[in-house]
């Protein structure tokens, strides 16, 4: 993420941030503006935040379970990986419409873009793992680089010379030469490799990599250029046990980090502590922590290095943190389970053309009835129902989770009777008969303020217990008392 920021001349961005017109500077057609691009992992939209006003100024919609985001250096496009369709979606920055969907070799996670904007490198997490190479002129997948295990995140080193791919299953990171697109070396760890960030030498070449690891509340320090080995590990501070979050850490107590564009500080998220922590560079001296929202998952910076933007997956917000005062300035409400967040630069005229989409809520009707028939008629459709700004329950719950639904029926069709029976059995295990509020099925997708639990990795689908869908499931649960 820091890599995305650093590819642009920073002095220029600072000027445009201050509102000074950057006329007369070479290579830039008009005034440029930095934009914080906030993905929503359980949503179908991406929010575009103006870091001057700290408000949402644009929204990309129609990308369910969006994962990674990258921006073209000239601000003409955004690239977003799509976990439902297994595509890399290209979005025209001016219209915010999806213009291309490039089929990938498997289920994607994060993406990285080369400094010249010609290539996007997509992490393919499904086994056996790979980095898919997308040519942004032909908008085709031109290569698939095999890796030792599914890839969770791809990064570009700040000098754009290497692609670095981290694997959770393979417990390694692989360094790929960005010119020949050939894997050069792989470093193995005793735990899965999560997010990374990069420290540079004065000439811009890469000096060290900071690596977050599965089930480790801290980071490893890796020597990049000489010895290519792990030097040491640093643990993040601890807070009292009662204040910690231990549910749904998804194997990653500390996930998300970045080196500020000025290279002076390293910031890391702690999901356990709902904090971000700062360390000085190059000495890695602890500077302090800031309490943010719940389950902070990723971060990025304003180009002037004065603010950190933190995606709070559990609070559905983006925190803005002042680097100097170590204080949270504001939390901006965004979509469902915000994760990857990047800094992009786009022409000012492009931003001026955006119109913020307004959410309209849809409602369905409920009716009293009981048991299996009621479940099949009234409850099951809720799992395939598309709610505005949210991914459907079935796209996540037909794989990988304990609340395991049958594969989604084809468009227009319904589940077979046998499949419905299985769904019924699965759903039964998620409820306490007669006790809607004590039932996981109703607690998790319900907003915390409305009586739900604090975090559901699949987002909050109901803002109140009066939501017709919530009510429908509640009557099913009450009715199944007998
Ligand atoms: C973006 C993906 C996603 C979406 C969409 C989603 N969920 Fe989830 N949900 C998860 C994940 C991940 C977990 C935790 C998985 C686990 O540990 O089993 C979870 C957990 C749950 C659980 C608890 C499972 C347990 O083991 O206790 C329930 C119940 C649940 N979700 C219901 C729903 C319902 C109902 C919807 C739709 C209204 C929904 N989810 C939408 C990803 C999603």
Position 25 scores a pLDDT of 43
Sheet containing 130-135, strands listed edge to edge, beginning at the edge strand earlier in sequence = 108-113, 119-124, 130-135, 140-146
Whether residue 402 has its Cβ less than 6 Å from ligand 1: yes
Task: Calculate ∠ Cα 217-262-26, nearest 5°.
Answer: 140
> Which residue has the least CA distance to atom 24 on ligand 1?
403
Cβ atoms of residues 191 and 214 within 8 Å = yes
Residue 265 and residue 319 in one domain: yes
User: Which position has the token pair 């820091």?
Assistant: 2
Whether residue 441 has its Cβ less than 6 Å from ligand 1: yes
Residue 426 and residue 315 in one domain: no
Task: Determine the 3-state secondary structure of 305 from DSSP.
Answer: coil
Residue 306 and residue 412 in one domain: no
Cβ atoms of residues 48 and 321 within 8 Å = no
> Which residue has the least CA distance to atom 6 on ligand 1?
458
- For residue 195, report the distance from its CA to the centre of ligand 1, in Å: 23
Position 30 scores a pLDDT of 78
If one counts every other C-beta atom within 10 angstroms of the C-beta of residue 348, the result is 16
> What is this structure's pTM?
0.73
For the CA of 401, the nearest atom of ligand 1: 18
CATH code for the domain in which residue 317 is found: 2.130.10.10
Residue 387's H or E segment, with its range, is none
If one counts every other C-beta atom within 10 angstroms of the C-beta of residue 127, the result is 12
Domain-located, residue 396 = yes
> Which residue has the least CA distance to atom 37 on ligand 1?
393
- For residue 88, report the distance from its CA to the centre of ligand 1, in Å: 24
> Which residue has the least CA distance to atom 13 on ligand 1?
457
Residue 327 and residue 457 in one domain: no
| Tokens describing residue 321 | 């943190």
Whether residue 42 has its Cβ less than 6 Å from ligand 1: yes
Whether residue 461 has its Cβ less than 6 Å from ligand 1: yes
What range defines the domain where residue 280 resides? Answer: 2-352
Q: What is the spatial distance between Cα 119 and Cα 266, in angstroms, rounded to a whole number?
A: 27
For the CA of 41, the nearest atom of ligand 1: 1
Domain-located, residue 456 = yes
Whether residue 397 has its Cβ less than 6 Å from ligand 1: yes
Whether residue 84 has its Cβ less than 6 Å from ligand 1: no
| Tokens describing residue 362 | 């849809």
| Tokens describing residue 179 | 């010119």
Residue 212 and residue 73 in one domain: yes
**Chain center to CA of 298:** 7
pLDDT digits (tens, 9 = 90+) for 386-407: 999 999 999 999 987 889 999 9
> Which residue has the least CA distance to atom 15 on ligand 1?
401
Cβ atoms of residues 418 and 363 within 8 Å = no
For the CA of 336, the nearest atom of ligand 1: 1
Position 29 scores a pLDDT of 56
pLDDT digits (tens, 9 = 90+) for 327-350: 998 999 999 999 999 999 999 999
- For residue 391, report the distance from its CA to the centre of ligand 1, in Å: 11
Cβ atoms of residues 181 and 133 within 8 Å = yes
Position 243 scores a pLDDT of 82
Residue 186 and residue 105 in one domain: yes
> Which residue has the least CA distance to atom 41 on ligand 1?
393
For the CA of 392, the nearest atom of ligand 1: 5
Which of 183, 178, 135, 138 lies closest to 158, judged by CA?
A: 178
Position 26 scores a pLDDT of 43
Last residue of a domain, one of 290, 318, 352: 352
Residue 396 and residue 326 in one domain: no
Domain-located, residue 358 = no
Residue 89 and residue 34 in one domain: yes
Whether residue 372 has its Cβ less than 6 Å from ligand 1: no
Domain-located, residue 361 = no
Burial of 461 (0-12, 13-18, 19+ CB in 10 A): buried
If one counts every other C-beta atom within 10 angstroms of the C-beta of residue 377, the result is 14
Beta bridge partners of 64: none
Whether residue 440 has its Cβ less than 6 Å from ligand 1: yes
If one counts every other C-beta atom within 10 angstroms of the C-beta of residue 435, the result is 13
Residue 407 and residue 302 in one domain: no
Domain-located, residue 168 = yes
Position 28 scores a pLDDT of 47
Whether residue 430 has its Cβ less than 6 Å from ligand 1: yes
pLDDT digits (tens, 9 = 90+) for 3-58: 333 343 444 444 444 444 444 344 445 799 999 999 999 999 999 999 988 999 99
- For residue 310, report the distance from its CA to the centre of ligand 1, in Å: 23
Q: What is the spatial distance between Cα 92 and Cα 305, in angstroms, rounded to a whole number?
A: 27
Name the domain count of the chain: 2
Q: Which residues of the chain have pLDDT under 50?
A: 1-28, 356-370, 480-482
Phi, then psi, of 243 in degrees rounded to 5: -90, -5
Q: What is the spatial distance between Cα 336 and Cα 43, in angstroms, rounded to a whole number?
A: 5
Residue 169 and residue 267 in one domain: yes
Residue 177 and residue 321 in one domain: yes
Residue 286 and residue 237 in one domain: yes
For the CA of 461, the nearest atom of ligand 1: 38
Torsion 289-238-335-265 (CA) sign: positive
Whether residue 65 has its Cβ less than 6 Å from ligand 1: yes
Cβ atoms of residues 123 and 111 within 8 Å = yes
Last residue of a domain, one of 296, 320, 352: 352
């Amino acid at each position: 993420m820091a890599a995305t920021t650093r590819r642009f001349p920073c002095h220029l961005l600072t000027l445009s941030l201050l509102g000074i017109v950057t006329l007369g500077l070479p290579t830039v057609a008009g005034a440029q503006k930095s934009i914080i691009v906030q993905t929503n992992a359980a949503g179908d939209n991406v929010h575009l935040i103006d870091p001057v006003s700290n408000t949402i100024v644009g929204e990309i919609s129609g990308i369910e379970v969006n994962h990674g985001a990258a921006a073209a250096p000239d601000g003409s496009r955004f690239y977003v990986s799509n976990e439902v369709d297994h595509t890399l979606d290209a979005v025209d920055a001016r219209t915010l419409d999806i213009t291309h969907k490039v089929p990938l070799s498997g289920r994607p996670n994060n993406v990285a873009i080369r400094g010249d904007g010609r290539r996007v490198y997509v992490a393919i997490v499904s086994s056996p793992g790979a980095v898919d190479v997308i040519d942004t002129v032909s908008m085709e997948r031109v290569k698939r680089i095999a890796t030792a295990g599914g890839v969770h995140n791809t990064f570009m080193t700040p000098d754009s010379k290497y692609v670095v791919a981290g694997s959770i299953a393979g417990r390694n990171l692989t360094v790929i030469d960005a010119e020949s697109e050939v894997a050069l070396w792989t470093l193995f760890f005793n735990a899965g490799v999560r997010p990374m960030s990069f420290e540079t030498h004065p000439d811009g070449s890469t000096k060290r990599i900071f690596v977050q690891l599965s089930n480790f509340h801290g980071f490893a320090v890796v020597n990049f250029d000489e010895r290519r080995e792990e030097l040491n590990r640093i643990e993040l501070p601890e807070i009292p046990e009662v204040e910690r979050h231990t549910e749904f850490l998804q194997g990653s107590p500390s996930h998300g980090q970045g080196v500020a564009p000025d290279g002076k500080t390293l910031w890391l998220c702690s999901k356990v502590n709902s904090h971000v922590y700062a360390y000085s560079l190059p000495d890695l001296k602890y500077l302090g922590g800031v309490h943010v929202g719940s389950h902070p998952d990723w971060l990025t910076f304003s180009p002037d290095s004065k603010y950190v933007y933190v995606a709070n997956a559990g609070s559905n917000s983006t925190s803005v943190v002042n680097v100097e005062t170590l204080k949270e300035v504001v939390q901006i409400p965004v979509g469902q389970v915000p994760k990857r967040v990047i800094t992009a630069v786009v022409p000012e005229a492009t931003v001026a053309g955006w119109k913020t989409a307004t959410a309209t809520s849809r409602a369905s009707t409920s009716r009293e009835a009981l048991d299996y028939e009621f479940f099949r008629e009234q409850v099951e459709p809720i799992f395939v129902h598309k709610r505005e700004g949210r991914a459907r329950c079935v796209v996540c719950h037909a794989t990988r989770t304990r609340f395991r639904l049958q594969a989604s029926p084809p468009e227009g069709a319904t589940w077979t009777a046998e499949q419905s029976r299985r769904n019924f059995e699965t759903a039964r295990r998620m409820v306490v008969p007669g006790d809607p509020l004590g039932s996981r099925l109703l607690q998790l997708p319900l907003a915390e303020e409305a009586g739900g639990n604090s975090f559901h990795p699949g987002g909050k689908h109901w803002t109140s217990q009066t939501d017709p869908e919530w009510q429908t499931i509640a009557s099913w649960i009450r009715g199944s008392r007998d």
